């Protein structure tokens, strides 16, 4: 005999259990509700089978969906007759429960998957955000490094970089080193500690973390660096906790230096610090190489100048020896003739005097080159002097060469040796005329007063700046053969000549005389296009 209300309860329970949050709650609810079934005195749920049958006091109805066994409802039946009519309904009810539970399990799994997915998305988003922030910071570091490279060359660069790294990475000590002694020692280029720079030192890399860095891209000890390098006194003194070092590589990938940052606290974000250090090491290595290249160039130039000086001295000594030897040979020759025939000795004396005079001229030219010639100073009218010399030379130089003049008449007097200044004008014009050779050509001679207002406005033939001031400027230009670089470098050296008959003392004497008058000289020449000499004589 079925009671309709009981069947209604089963239906309502099926619909209602969906509202309940979990399996425990569902079966707690169901077991209480099923107690209303006639003949039943107890209901409980078991997740494993109890293998109960009709013969026992408890009847088990499995909650099963296909092959998925979820548990079973165990009914304590007091009156089988009353209970049995509901058995099929209860089996169906348990099947429905199984469906609901399975659906709930699936939903729960989906929710868990979704939660996991959301967690992963959130984690990845956080990572991406962190990466974006770090990328931005790295970009800022990169911009800064570019800026200090161009603004602070040399040692200033390394100091600026050291202080910047300390601030950016929050570290207490930064040193930038260059390697020496086959990489066994390092010499600091900048040491930044406790907000100030310390004096540079040289130290052995053995037993230091810096020794571990050399040859590696990055070397990190995020914590406990002191205990790892107990023999490093500097680390112990600093009470260092963390260390990060990076090698400076040359263009051909040889270790040339290192950067080390040391902290008194644990290094938490080593990834960012490593990125910054890698960038800094590239910049520092470039700067170090540039600096070393500059030092090498200076050394090479010094060596080159020394070689040139020795070479010049050799030429000078050889030239003097040769000329004097010739003169002495003449004197010796006439002396021998005199010994052989004293009666005719008188006619030899003028020849000996000529030779002595030649030797005296040679000495004067040497003194003039050295700027040590005795100056017979007077107030010199350079316009008159140049005009006179041009007039004289026009009659002596080859007819194919025309001398054109542009001489200011309003030229202030200067204090100088007129005869020596005449020699300057003579030598420059003769040199220019000879550079023209057999072809038609022109020598332009200009004389003017000029004012160099700003220092570093003009350079002399050696590349030194001409001091600001008022000068008389004598300019001699030809359109002759011009000079190559080698000739231009040596033209003022004594005994250097490109002419078959020349002694190579003219231009060196010109330079010596100009120096003696505290003047300067400019030279512009291009092979095949001509040459310009400019003489600057200071107006007192």
Partner 1 sequence: MTSSPQTISLGFTNQAFPPGVHICQIFSSDDERQESLLKFILSGLQSKERTCCFSDNATEQAICEFLGNYGISHNDAIDTGALTLAGTRDIYFEDNRFDPERMLNLLTCYYNDSVTHGYPAARVIGEMATEIQHVCGGNRLLEYESKISILLRDHPVTAVCQYDARSFDGAMIMDVLKVHPLMIVRGSVIHNPFYIKPEELLTQ
Tokens representing residue 314 in the block: 């050799």
In 150-307 the beta strands, taken as DSSP E runs, fall at 173-180, 185-193, 196-198, 202-204, 218-221, 242-249, 255-263
Segment interacting with partner 1, rule: CB under 8 A, options 14-22, 75-83, 152-160, 339-347: 14-22
Q: Which stretch binds partner 1 (CB under 8 A): 3-11, 60-68, 313-321, 336-344?
A: 3-11
**Residue 11 or 527: which CB sits closer to partner 1?**
11
Please report whether residue 12 would count as binding partner 1 according to CB under 8 A.
Answer: yes
Q: Does residue number 40 form part of the binding site for partner 1 (CB under 8 A)?
A: no
Residue 382 in contact with residue 414, Cβ under 8 Å? yes
- Which of 5, 88, 182, 194 is close enough to bind partner 1 by CB under 8 A? 5
* Contact residues for 404 (Cβ-Cβ < 8 A; gap 6+): 442, 443, 444, 445
Q: Where are the alpha helices (DSSP H) in 170-250?
A: 209-213, 225-228, 233-238
Q: How far is the CB of 33 from partner 1 (least distance, A)?
A: 5
The DSSP code for 18 is G
Q: Between residue 194 and residue 213, which ones bind partner 1 under the rule CB under 8 A?
A: none
Least gap, CB of 97 to partner 1 (angstroms): 12
Count of beta carbons in the 10 Å neighbourhood of residue 485: 9
Please identify, using beta-carbon distances, which residue of 9 and 142 lies nearer to partner 1: 9
Q: What tokens does 385 get?
A: 């002097």
Q: Of 41 and 236, which CB lies nearer to partner 1 in the complex structure?
A: 41
Nearest approach, Cβ of 48 to partner 1 (angstroms)? 20
**Long-range contacts, stretch 1-8, CB < 8 angstroms, 24+ apart:** 1/82, 1/85, 2/85, 2/86, 3/38, 6/36, 6/37, 6/38, 6/86, 7/89
Rounded to the nearest 5 degrees, what angle is found at the Cα of 459, between the Cα atoms of 454 and 461?
160
- Of 432, 508, 515, 526, the closest CA to residue 475 belongs to 432
In DSSP terms, which residues pair with 245 in a beta bridge?
219, 260
Contact between 9 and partner 1 by CB under 8 A: the answer reads yes
- Check: CB of residue 136 under 8 Å from CB of residue 275: no
**37 neighbors 86 (Cβ within 8 angstroms):** yes
Q: Which is nearer to partner 1, 45 or 157 (CB)?
A: 45
Q: What part of residues 72-111 is at the interface with partner 1 (CB under 8 A)?
A: none
Helix/strand/coil for 516: helix
Tell me the number of residues near partner 1 by CB under 8 A. Answer: 22
Smaller CB distance to partner 1: residue 19 or 143?
Answer: 19
Q: Which is nearer to partner 1, 16 or 465 (CB)?
A: 16
CB nearer partner 1, residue 18 or residue 268 = 18
C-beta of 25: minimal distance to partner 1 in Å?
4
Minimal distance, residue 276 CB to partner 1, in Å: 48
Residue 95 CB, nearest distance to partner 1 (Å)?
Answer: 19
CB of 281 to partner 1, least distance (A): 57
Nearer to partner 1, 30 or 424 (CB): 30
Stretch that binds partner 1, among 11-19, 144-152, 175-183, 508-516 (CB under 8 A): 11-19
Residue in 2, 8, 181, 529 binding partner 1, rule: CB under 8 A: 8
Closer to partner 1 at the Cβ: 21 or 53? 21
Q: Give the integer Cα–Cα distance in Å for 508 and 505.
A: 5
CB of 114 to partner 1, least distance (A): 17
CB of 42 to partner 1, least distance (A): 13
3-state DSSP assignment of residue 183:
coil
DSSP 504: S
Least separation in angstroms between residue 35's CB and partner 1 is: 9
Distance (Å, whole) CA 496 – CA 505: 7
Nearer to partner 1 (CB atom), residue 15 or residue 129? 15
Q: How far is the CB of 66 from partner 1 (least distance, A)?
A: 25
Q: How far apart are CA 396 and CA 404, in angstroms?
A: 15
**Contact region for partner 1 (CB under 8 A) — 7-15, 83-91, 95-103, 315-323?**
7-15
By DSSP bridging, strand 441-452 and strand 401-407 are parallel
- Token pair for 196: 């100030």
By CB under 8 A, what part of segment 15-34 binds partner 1?
15-16, 18-21, 24-33
* Separation between Cα atoms, residue 415 and residue 538, nearest integer Å: 9
Query: Toward partner 1, which CB reaches closer, 92 or 457?
Result: 92
Residues in touch with partner 1 (CB under 8 A): 5, 8-9, 11-12, 15-16, 18-21, 24-33, 36
């Amino acid at each position: 005999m079925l009671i309709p209300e009981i069947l209604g309860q089963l239906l309502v329970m099926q619909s209602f259990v969906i509202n309940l949050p979990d399996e425990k709650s569902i079966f707690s609810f169901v077991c209480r509700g099923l107690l209303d079934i006639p003949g039943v005195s107890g209901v409980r749920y078991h997740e494993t089978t109890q293998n109960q049958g009709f013969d026992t006091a408890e009847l088990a109805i499995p909650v099963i969906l296909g092959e998925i066994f979820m548990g079973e409802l165990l009914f304590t039946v007091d009156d089988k007759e009353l209970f049995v009519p509901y058995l099929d309904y209860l089996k169906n009810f348990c099947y429905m429960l199984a469906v609901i539970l399975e659906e709930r399990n699936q939903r729960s799994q989906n929710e868990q998957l979704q939660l996991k997915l959301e967690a992963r998305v959130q984690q990845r988003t956080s990572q991406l955000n962190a990466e974006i922030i770090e990328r931005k910071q790295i970009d800022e570091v990169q911009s800064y490094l570019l800026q200090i490279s161009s603004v602070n060359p040399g040692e200033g660069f390394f100091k600026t970089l050291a202080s910047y790294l300390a601030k950016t990475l929050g570290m207490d000590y930064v040193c930038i080193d260059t390697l020496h002694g086959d990489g066994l020692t390092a010499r600091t280029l900048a040491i930044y500690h406790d907000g100030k720079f310390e004096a540079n030192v040289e130290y052995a890399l053995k037993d230091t973390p810096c020794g571990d860095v050399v040859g590696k891209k990055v070397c990190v000890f995020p914590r406990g660096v002191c205990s790892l390098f107990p023999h490093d006194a500097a680390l112990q003194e600093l009470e260092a906790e963390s260390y990060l070092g990076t090698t400076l590589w040359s263009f051909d990938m040889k270790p040339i230096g290192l950067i080390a940052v040391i902290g008194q606290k644990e290094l938490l974000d080593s990834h960012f610090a490593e990125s910054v250090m890698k960038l800094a090491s590239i910049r520092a290595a470039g700067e170090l190489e540039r600096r070393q290249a500059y030092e090498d160039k200076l050394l090479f130039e010094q060596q080159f100048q020394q070689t040139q000086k020795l070479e010049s001295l050799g030429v000078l000594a050889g030239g003097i020896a040769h000329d004097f030897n010739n003169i002495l040979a003449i004197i010796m020759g006439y002396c021998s003739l005199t010994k052989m025939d004293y009666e005719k000795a008188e006619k030899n004396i003028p020849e000996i005097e000529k030779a002595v005079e030649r030797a005296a001229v040679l000495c004067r030219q040497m003194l003039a080159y050295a700027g040590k010639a005795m100056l017979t100073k007077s107030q010199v009218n350079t316009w008159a002097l140049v005009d006179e010399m041009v007039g004289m030379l026009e009659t002596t130089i080859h007819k194919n060469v025309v001398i054109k003049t542009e001489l200011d008449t309003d030229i202030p007097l200067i204090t100088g040796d007129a005869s020596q200044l005449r020699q300057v004008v003579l030598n420059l014009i003769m040199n220019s005329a000879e550079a023209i050779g057999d072809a038609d050509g022109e020598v332009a001679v200009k004389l003017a007063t000029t004012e160099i207002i700003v220092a570093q406005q003009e350079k002399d033939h050696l590349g030194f700046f001409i001091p600001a001031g008022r000068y008389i400027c004598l300019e001699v230009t030809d359109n002759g053969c011009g000079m190559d670089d080698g000739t231009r470098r040596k033209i003022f050296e004594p005994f250097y000549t490109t002419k078959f008959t020349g002694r190579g003392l003219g231009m060196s004497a010109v330079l010596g005389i100009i120096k003696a008058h505290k003047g300067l000289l400019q030279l512009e020449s291009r092979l095949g296009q001509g040459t310009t000499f400019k003489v600057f004589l200071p107006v007192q």
